[in-house]
Amino acid sequence: MRNRLPTALLACLLVPSLLFAAPAGHRDIRVATPWPAQNTIIAMLGYSENIVGTSAVAKRIPLFRQIYPSIDRVPVIGVTSGHEINPEQIIALRTQLLFLPESMAMTQTDMLQQAGIKVLALRANSMQALVDRVTLSGQALGPDAEQVAQRYQRYFQRNVARVQARLSDLPASQRLKVYHSMGSALTTSGRPSLNQDWMDLAGARNVAAEWFSKEKNSAGEVPLEKIAQANPDVIVAMNRRDAEMIRSSAQWQGIAAVQKQRVYVNPKGLFWWCRETSEEALQFLWLAKTLYPQRFQDIDMQQETRRFYLDFFGISLSEQQLQAILQPQ
């Protein structure tokens, strides 16, 4: 029988409290997640070596593999086309804490309860959901992780304040129109969504903001004609292959962003900055500087990036790693 994870069941799974907190110094907790970006949050909180079940996407990201080579040995959690995972695999991995997106389905959820596995099902697809997820993940992993999460929140809010201060007097009429491609050149998202949130923070006018008002996930594929009609000033592509196609394709040449050579590849570290990762704290800062460089002359994104990965991941980036993040292939 197929079930989703209703609130009542989650409350049962999360006994004795709605958040499972590992005791101080409890470094052997076994953590699993099929959610690719959640791996980065777990790593930032200091528990990368505790991951016993992961996603195929996380295992393929070059920087993650370089920094946390043990991910190569971690089994992939199977997910069906219906976004369903098998609890028997989670139990076989001797999982103690399982992170899931709220939307993910499971069969026989009572098996997890009987096995004593704690499940944390978390919201996604908004900036608030992301920052909340870092906080909740830290609380679930233990006091040491919670301290990192609190420090991250301070850094995140500092970046919000820095961007807002520099854009406070920028009239709406001067805010640049931006198109963001995700997954493919013609796939994008509107309001409400995580992508919309970081564009709002960075002072961008998302040309797709109202395109998906009737779609549950505020995202989808659109015809090129619609993008051309919107005529964005800037295009940010999640993948380099899409950016290169957009720059070279005759069909895109009439768009202002292509004509002005303002087609950019989104940075990618342990995960794509534009997606559900804690690296999101750099995304809107990067975009704001990219859109309005004169207002952010004091912000050095290479320096910001080096400092962020050192402070929150303990990683001293090489020059090659730094360039691979900011200019991903």
Q: What is the pLDDT of residues 122-153, one digit of tens each?
A: 999 999 999 999 999 999 999 999 999 999 99
Both tokens assigned to 193: 């969504």
Count Cβ atoms within 10 A of the Cβ of residue 82 and give its class: 0-12 exposed, 13-18 middle, 19 or more buried.
exposed
Rounded Cα–Cα distance for residues 310 and 99 (Å): 25
pLDDT at 26: 57
Residue 16 has pLDDT above 50, yes or no: no
pLDDT at 84: 83
Contacts of 98 (CB under 8 A, 6+ apart): 31, 32, 33, 90, 112, 117, 118, 119, 120
What is the set of domains in the chain, with CATH numbers?
Answer: 2-142 (3.40.50.1980), 169-326 (3.40.50.1980)
The per-residue DSSP string of 228-283 comes to HHH--SEEEESSHHHHHHHHH-GGGTTSHHHHTT-EEEPPBSSSBTTSSSTTHHHH
**pTM of the predicted protein model:** 0.90
Q: Taking the C-alpha atoms of 263, 266, 267 and 271 in order, what is their torsion angle to the nearest 10 degrees?
A: -160
pLDDT at 252: 98
CA distances from 216 to 3, 179, 227, 315 (A): 20, 20, 21, 38
Both tokens assigned to 215: 């779609």
Q: What is the pLDDT of residues 78-118, one digit of tens each?
A: 887 777 888 999 999 999 999 999 888 676 778 888 899 99
pLDDT at 83: 76
Q: What average pLDDT does range 208-217 have in this prediction?
A: 90
User: In the chain, what's the furthest Cα-to-Cα distance?
Assistant: 60
The confidence band for 203, taking pLDDT boundaries of 50, 70 and 90, is very high
pLDDT at 14: 41
Rounded Cα–Cα distance for residues 138 and 42 (Å): 8
Q: What is the pLDDT of residues 172-202, one digit of tens each?
A: 999 999 999 998 999 999 999 999 999 999 9
Q: What average pLDDT does range 38-51 have in this prediction?
A: 97
The confidence band for 4, taking pLDDT boundaries of 50, 70 and 90, is very low
Q: What percent of the chain has pLDDT over 90?
A: 82
